[in-house]
């Protein structure tokens, strides 16, 4: 049925009892309204594409799409068809291309591996970062990376925070953000979905400062921690170095003649190539005994490349959390919460209050300079210039740490428990 379609006419149309009725518009050839028994009224347009096939298009429903809007849409399709543009064919090709793209997309696991090889493997904290990423993304490892979205990443962060670990949640947010940026920059994802993930807690610097008494108590408790963790803890206290630097020490980094640790390339937080720290005499004595035991157990060949603190001879220690729990139990409930990093703060506080040069204390702790990086000549010069002062501070720290005032008021210096205390 063809005629000029108007709103008055269309409102009078009654739905058929079965089948369908169609009403063609004489003002726009090819446009018609299809009416179903349900009362649904749908605009249709049919036109042959130049040099191609006849195509049928569904435009919308009446009255949501007015007569004028239907005619305008039909005119646009008519002009395209006259120019040889086939919307349906183009949509089919786009879908085929999308399917091909999806079939070649990489999984989360595959891109994580690339992230590790290209980026994380170059970082000192790379293993820790990859461990965090693999744990956080475990349910999605075999999903296509493109299927991940921002809501999934944020839910991972929020779930970690709700578990009672807001600081770890902050770390996961940072790891996910950097991984997402890596994937986006290299074309594995179309958007940077990890941009500005919300972190559950604003972190502030710790203000916990261990007192000299507390540090003496920690050193005393170290003798209850066994042959692996005890010496490691005592060396942490004596040198004020970072936990991973001491825990990952190898024998080749110990110079017994110079009585110092010479950290290898890439072993320090700020990548300083010539960082060193002096060793008190009794630490040297303990390390000599440990080396003899290691040589007896593992053999002398290749010993320099072995870890000092190890149970396998090939890997550094793990299980710091369990060790810390045992140590806290030995210290007793009156000991306020503390971390291994607080040992460094305690050392710096005690020695600076005792008159040590703050700059030299910073150099011992290998804090990064806030000014521009010194030249190679300046680094070597400062190393030589400060060596004596650094040794003196470490030796004085060891003396201060081990001075124990007895009940009669005199001073007893007992460098290590059970090492033969003497009266000063």
DSSP symbols for 125-181: THHHHHHHHHHHTGGGTTSBGGG--HHHHHHHHHHHHHTT-HHHHHHHHHHHHHHHH
Domain range 108-185, its CATH number among 1.10.3110, 1.10.150, 1.10.260, 3.90.550: 1.10.150
β partners of residue 261: 254, 277
For the segment 394-414, the average pLDDT, to the nearest whole number, is 66
212-222 and 320-331 helices, crossing angle to 10°: 110
* Of 154, 170, 171, 172, the residue nearest 202 (C-alpha): 170
CATH node for 2-103: 3.30.160.390
Please state, in angstroms and rounded to a whole number, the distance separating the CA atoms of residues 400 and 354: 10
Please state, in angstroms and rounded to a whole number, the distance separating the CA atoms of residues 208 and 346: 9
Report phi then psi at 326, rounded to 5: -65, -40
- Does 380 score more than 50 pLDDT? no
In degrees, rounded to 5, the angle at the alpha carbon of residue 240 between the alpha carbons of residues 356 and 314 is 155
Q: Centre a 10 Å sphere on the Cβ of residue 172 and count the other Cβ atoms it contains.
A: 25
Q: What is the pLDDT of residues 162-218, one digit of tens each?
A: 988 888 899 999 999 999 999 999 888 888 999 989 888 776 666 678 999 999 999
Q: Find tokens 């700020």 and name the residue.
A: 270
Torsion of CA 242, 248, 252, 255, to 10 degrees: 30
Sign, CA dihedral 254-257-259-262, equals negative
Sign, CA dihedral 77-79-81-83, equals negative
pTM exceeding 0.85: no
Percent residues over pLDDT 70 in the chain: 86
pLDDT at 206 (0 to 100): 63
CA distances (Å), 357 to each of 236, 349, 363, in order? 21, 11, 10
- Does 149 score more than 70 pLDDT? yes
For the segment 116-121, the average pLDDT, to the nearest whole number, is 92
Is 262 buried (19+), middle (13-18) or exposed (0-12) by CB count in 10 A? Answer: middle
CA distances (Å), 123 to each of 67, 126, 130, 170, 247, in order? 65, 5, 11, 19, 18
- Does 269 score more than 90 pLDDT? no
Q: What is the pLDDT of residues 20-75, one digit of tens each?
A: 999 999 999 999 999 999 999 999 999 999 988 999 999 999 999 999 999 999 99
pLDDT-based confidence at 266, cuts 50/70/90? low
Helix, strand or coil, per DSSP, at residue 277: strand
For the segment 309-321, the average pLDDT, to the nearest whole number, is 88
H/E stretch holding 298: helix 281-298
Q: How far is CA 207 from the centre of its chain?
A: 24
Cis peptide before 347 (omega within 30 of 0): no
Here the tokens at position 61 are: 């429903």
For the chain, domain boundaries: 2-103, 108-185, 212-423
Helix, strand or coil, per DSSP, at residue 200: coil
Q: How far is CA 83 from the centre of its chain?
A: 54
pLDDT at 415 (0 to 100): 34
Helix, strand or coil, per DSSP, at residue 276: strand
**If you average pLDDT over every residue of the chain, what do you get?**
85
H/E stretch holding 69: helix 67-82
CB 57 within 8 A of CB 68: no
Q: What is the pLDDT of residues 165-180, one digit of tens each?
A: 888 899 999 999 999 9
pLDDT-based confidence at 3, cuts 50/70/90? confident
For the segment 137-159, the average pLDDT, to the nearest whole number, is 93
Beta pairing class for 2-3 and 21-25: parallel
* Of 13, 80, 92, the residue nearest 45 (C-alpha): 80
For the segment 107-122, the average pLDDT, to the nearest whole number, is 93
- Does 324 score more than 80 pLDDT? yes
Report phi then psi at 370, rounded to 5: -85, -15
pLDDT at 47 (0 to 100): 93
Beta pairing class for 31-35 and 412-413: unpaired
Sheet holding 276-278, edge to edge: 254-255, 260-262, 276-278
Q: Centre a 10 Å sphere on the Cβ of residue 76 and count the other Cβ atoms it contains.
A: 12
* Of 232, 225, 112, 237, the residue nearest 178 (C-alpha): 112
CB 113 within 8 A of CB 130: no
Which architecture characterizes domain 212-423 according to CATH? Orthogonal Bundle (1.10)
- Kindly report the length of the chain: 424
Sign, CA dihedral 375-378-384-387, equals negative
């Amino acid at each position: 049925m063809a005629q000029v379609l108007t709103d008055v006419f269309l409102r009078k149309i009654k739905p058929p009892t079965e089948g369908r009725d169609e009403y063609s518009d004489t003002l726009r050839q090819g446009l018609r309204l299809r009416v179903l028994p349900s009362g649904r009224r749908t605009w249709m347009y049919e036109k042959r594409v130049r040099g191609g096939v006849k195509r049928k298009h569904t435009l919308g429903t009446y009255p949501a799409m007015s007569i004028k809007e239907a005619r305008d849409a039909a005119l646009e399709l008519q002009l395209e068809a006259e120019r040889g543009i086939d919307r349906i064919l183009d949509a089919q090709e786009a879908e085929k291309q999308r399917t091909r793209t999806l079939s070649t997309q990489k999984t989360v696991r595959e891109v994580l591996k690339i992230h590790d090889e290209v980026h994380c493997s170059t970082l000192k904290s790379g293993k820790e970062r990859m461990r965090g990423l693999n744990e956080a993304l475990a349910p999605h490892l075999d999903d296509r990376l493109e299927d991940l979205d921002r809501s999934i990443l944020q839910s991972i962060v929020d779930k970690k925070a709700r578990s009672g670990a807001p600081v770890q949640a902050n770390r996961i947010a940072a790891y996910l953000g950097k991984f997402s940026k890596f994937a986006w920059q290299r074309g594995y994802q179309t958007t940077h979905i990890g941009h500005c993930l919300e972190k559950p807690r604003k972190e502030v610097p710790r203000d916990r400062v261990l007192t000299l008494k507390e540090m003496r108590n920690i050193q005393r408790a170290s003798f209850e921690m066994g042959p692996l963790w005890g010496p490691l803890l005592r060396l942490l206290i004596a040198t004020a170095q970072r936990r991973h630097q001491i825990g990952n020490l190898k024998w080749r980094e110990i110079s017994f003649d110079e009585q110092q640790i010479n950290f290898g390339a890439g072993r320090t937080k700020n990548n300083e190539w010539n960082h060193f720290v002096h060793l008190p005499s009794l630490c040297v004595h303990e390390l000599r005994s440990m080396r003899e035991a290691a040589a007896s157990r593992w053999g002398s060949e290749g010993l320099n490349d072995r870890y000092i603190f190890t149970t396998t001879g090939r890997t550094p220690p793990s299980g710091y959390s369990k060790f810390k729990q045992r140590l806290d139990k030995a210290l007793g409930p009156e000991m306020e919460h503390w971390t291994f990093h607080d040992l460094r703060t305690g050392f710096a506080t005690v020695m600076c209050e005792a008159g040590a040069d703050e700059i030299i204390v910073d150099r011992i702790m290998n804090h990064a300079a806030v000014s521009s990086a010194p030249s190679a000549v300046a680094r070597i010069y400062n190393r030589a210039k400060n060596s004596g002062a650094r040794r003196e501070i470490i030796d004085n720290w060891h003396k201060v740490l081990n001075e124990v005032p007895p009940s009669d008021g005199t001073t007893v210096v007992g460098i290590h428990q059970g090492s033969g205390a003497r009266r000063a």
